[in-house]
Structures are given as structure tokens and as C-alpha cells.
Amino acid sequence: MARIIVVTSGKGGVGKTTSSASFASGLALRGHKTVVIDFDVGLRNLDLIMGCERRVVYDLINVVNKEASLNQALIKDKHCENLFILPASQTRDKDALTEEGVEAVLHELINMGYEYIICDSPAGIEHGALMALTFADEALIVTNPEVSSVRDSDRILGIIQAKSRRAQSGGEPVKEHLLITRYAPKRVEAGEMLSFTDVQEILRIPLIGIIPESEQVLHASNQGNPAIHFKGTDVANAYEDVISRFLGHETPLRYTNYEKPGLLQRIFGAK
């Protein structure tokens, strides 16, 4: 059975698109036929992060409006055989997305045999974000360890619980996962950031992973390669762990503790 997963947050700029790209790539790398859809109409940037911006001809709204077929609009990922990207329109208004139109696109993707459909949501709680979450089976709630981000995540959880199809039909609720991004243990230690346990305590949803704050993310996006491809880096390892947990494997948390440099490290500056 196909699963539709929305990557959402409420607050902007917390790492949704970064996480959507690595999450979709990670699932595809493990052999799952996956598609990632950019719902950020007007501000599309998933195609940049995935490095396929020059190949965009048609987009989600063209498909919703039947101006192009899904096969025309889907772009094959440059790394993974079984990963496709459905870009957003840069020029249209986000209201061009209709609920029926989005539902029809998702149905067709399911019929095409996709196992995972990842929906990269725009920030906010308005139309575009609602369209991204309405049909979700699961949600990754991307949250930074700071009060405003946690508050907006709480708000989006309320919306998922009120407005998703699953909520409206009274069936099995949307399965929620907390993904904490841009985590800096040193700043947590210094009391400048909330700890992951603080965030968890406020939101009270299961934690699927913690992605460390890293310059590698900017480097990856400048290159147009999702961070998960930079094997051996902390960020790639953390996203790999998220995929493992999502697929049901127990995986211990990493990158949560700040290790004070020892005396020798402080003297010689070695890492």
C-alpha cells in the first residue's frame, strides 16, 4: 500500500525542503519507488535542492489543470533510479491547487505504483500547506529547538488533527513523527536552545530523528545534491537513521550530546 507523507512545520525556514529531499532520496536508496512533490507554489525550491531545476518543463499545477500528463511533469532523479520529482509552479498563485485536483494527482501516483509519496509543504497554515497535508497518512513535523518553531509545530499538529481526510473520516489518525533539525548540542548545553527532550515534552509525539546543525547542508544545496548523499557526514548519517527508524528498525539517537574538548584537544586544537 502506498503511503503519503507530508513534511510540514508551520514556521518557515526550519528545514522542510532539505528534509524532504534527503528523506525521499533515502527511501529510494533503500529500493522503494518514491516520488517527492513540491507544494510550495510560487516559491519552488525543491528542484534546486534536488539539482534538477534546468529540467523543469511542467509542474504540479499543469498536471492539476490537465495541461500536462504526470509522465510529462515527473523528473527522474539524477542519483536514484526509483525516485521522481514533481516540481511546483514558480509563476502561479497557490490557490490554483484544488483539493479535487490534488487528490486526482495523488491517486494517479498510487496507481503508478509509487510506494512513498512525499509532500514538501510550504510554510504557514494557509491553502498551500493545507493542500499538502489533507491527504497525508503520516506527517513529519519538522521543528527547530526554539520556542517559536515548537509553538508553530503545535499549531500544525492541531490542523492535521482537524483538517486532514483521516481526521474528517474518523478513521485511523495521521501518524505523526517529530523531526528536530538544526540541533546544536553545544548551544543546548549553553542554554541558548531547547533540548530535544524539552521539545518532545511540549509536542508529545514520537521522535523520528535529530538532524545536527551543519554547514554541510548549505554546501549540499549549493551543489544540488541532497545532504544524505554526502556519506559519512553527520547530517547524512542522521538522515540515514531517520530512514531506518521510519522503516521500523530500532536505531539509537546520535549527535545529541556536546562533548567538551579534552585538555589535549584544547591545547593542540585537534578535533
Ligand X SMILES: Nc1ncnc2c1ncn2[C@@H]1O[C@H](COP(=O)(O)OP(=O)(O)OP(=O)(O)O)[C@@H](O)[C@H]1O
d(CA 85, CA 76): 6
- Please report how close the Cβ of residue 61 comes to ligand X at its closest, in angstroms: 17
- Please report how close the Cβ of residue 125 comes to Mg ion at its closest, in angstroms: 15
Of 190, 218, 258, 266, the one binding ligand X (CB under 6 A) is: 218
The piece of 58-66, 74-82, 166-174, 210-218 that touches ligand X (CB under 6 A) is 210-218
Q: Which is nearer to Mg ion, 11 or 16 (by Cβ)?
A: 16
What residue 194 binds from Mg ion, ligand X, none (CB within 5 to 8 A, per partner kind)? none
What residue 218 binds from ligand X, Mg ion, none (CB within 5 to 8 A, per partner kind)? ligand X
50: Cβ–Cβ under 8 A, 6 or more apart, which residues? 21, 36, 77, 78, 85, 224, 226
d(CA 95, CA 161): 22
Q: Which is nearer to Mg ion, 185 or 209 (by Cβ)?
A: 209
Site string for Mg ion, 3-42 (x = CB under 5 A): -------------xx-------------------------
Q: Which is nearer to Mg ion, 19 or 214 (by Cβ)?
A: 19
What residue 182 binds from ligand X, Mg ion, none (CB within 5 to 8 A, per partner kind)? ligand X
- Residue 14 counted as an annotated binding residue: yes
Which positions from 121 through 150 interact with ligand X, judged by CB under 6 A?
122-123
Q: How far apart are the first and last CA of the chain?
A: 46
What residue 209 binds from ligand X, Mg ion, none (CB within 5 to 8 A, per partner kind)? none
Contact status: 182 vs ligand X (CB under 6 A): yes
- Residue 17 counted as an annotated binding residue: yes
- Residue 78 counted as an annotated binding residue: no
- Residue 91 counted as an annotated binding residue: no
Of 4, 6, 8, 9, the one binding ligand X (CB under 6 A) is: 9
d(CA 158, CA 93): 26
Contact status: 221 vs ligand X (CB under 6 A): yes
Q: Which is nearer to ligand X, 134 or 233 (by Cβ)?
A: 233
The site for Mg ion (CB under 5 A) is made up of: 16-17
Feature table: binding site for ATP = 11-18
